[in-house]
Amino acid sequence: MRYIVTGAGGFIGSFLCEQLRREGHEVVRIFRSLPAYAADSAGAYEDIAADVLSDDFPGLRLGGDAVIHLAAANDIVSKDGREGIKLSLIGTKNVLDFAVNNGIPQMIFFSTIQVLGSELQGLITETSAVRPENDYAANHAVAELYTEMYARKGLLRAVSIRPTNVYGHFASPTINRWSLVPACFCREAFFNKTITIRSSGKQRRNFVSVESVAKATSAVLANFPASYDALNLGSPFHMTILEAAQCVKQVHDEMYPDPVQLLVQGDEPQQENRFEICLRKLEDRYGFKEHLGAEDFRKEIRLIFLSLDRLAH
């Protein structure tokens, strides 16, 4: 199969491209501008420089079996409301039009679990109400609507994947996602010997490894729906932000002689938000079951620290 990946140089995109290539697929990587490491791929990929926001993008002539769209606004870009909306909405529409114009029958749009709320409660399924509470979630929710509309009109088949908190080491040193947990804690611990939480840290999160996200996406491609589907992509692994910080501290202090000081600087929220991500559709319809948990989380923290070692030297 031949898969076209936008946002191929990002945190998830880089892992996904490697996963698809290992499985023997042809992979076309689309970057806004070609990174230096693209020249070192030895022909393993077809690499193209193209901006999904360009008026020319829908007219790009490129064939494939599916488009995997990861070039939407991340949490950092979304802090600029206009830029976030532009990238997630206009960019996604351009990618949809590109797929239709090239007769590409399938598209995966990478959304976020945050379209269902910031502090989740109770059992979370694909039928849970869409309730975005920030610009990042809202622009993804609108992009989901566009993706669903194209599928409903029969222009292509599509899936919106909603990952929970994705964790893991970065496949390339050019990836800058140090705002993510636990990477943000690792970076502060490594350079400052502190970990600062500006809240109570009682916010509970669901964590899924970037490796699992890539493998689950491959499972979706192998079992694509007849029209449209929204899929929550998470794991059985939950912990609070404070517990994640404590885990980073523990791994750091095992690896380095100078211990980290953990600073909790807030009182809110006072209660943990208790929730569970229902993974039944992921398992039953798409045949993927997540087995990774706390030890795998610790393993990735170690790899993040080792990458920081390399950057520092």
* Residue 47: Cβ within 10 Å count: 19
DSSP string, 227-258: SEEEEEE--S-EEEHHHHHHHHHHHHHHHSSS
DSSP string, 2-23: EEEEETTTSHHHHHHHHHHHHT
Pairing of the two strands 261-264 and 194-197: parallel
CA angle 166, 132, 93 (to 5 degrees): 80
Residue of 72, 87, 77 lying closest to 7 (CA atoms): 72
Residue of 98, 50, 90, 57 lying closest to 73 (CA atoms): 90
Q: Give CA–CA dist 144/100, Å, rounded.
A: 16
Strands of the chain, DSSP E: 2-6, 26-31, 46-49, 66-69, 106-110, 122-124, 157-163, 165-167, 194-197, 204-209, 228-233, 238-240, 261-264, 275-277
pLDDT tens across the length of the chain (313 residues): 999 999 999 999 999 999 999 999 999 999 999 887 776 666 789 999 999 999 999 999 999 999 999 999 887 777 777 888 889 999 999 999 999 999 999 999 999 999 999 999 999 999 999 999 999 999 999 999 999 999 999 999 999 999 999 999 998 878 889 999 999 999 999 999 999 999 999 999 999 999 999 999 999 999 999 999 999 999 999 999 999 999 999 999 999 999 999 999 999 999 999 999 999 999 999 999 988 788 999 999 999 999 999 888 7
Q: Which residue has the tokens 């840290």?
A: 201
Q: What's the CATH class of domain 2-167+206-233?
A: alpha beta
Pairing of the two strands 66-69 and 46-49: unpaired
Q: In sequence order, which ranges of 39-164 are alpha helices (DSSP H)?
A: 81-85, 91-101, 135-152
| pTM of structure | 0.95
Q: Give CA–CA dist 284/276, Å, rounded.
A: 17
* Residue 277: Cβ within 10 Å count: 24
Q: Which residue has the tokens 């990002």?
A: 10
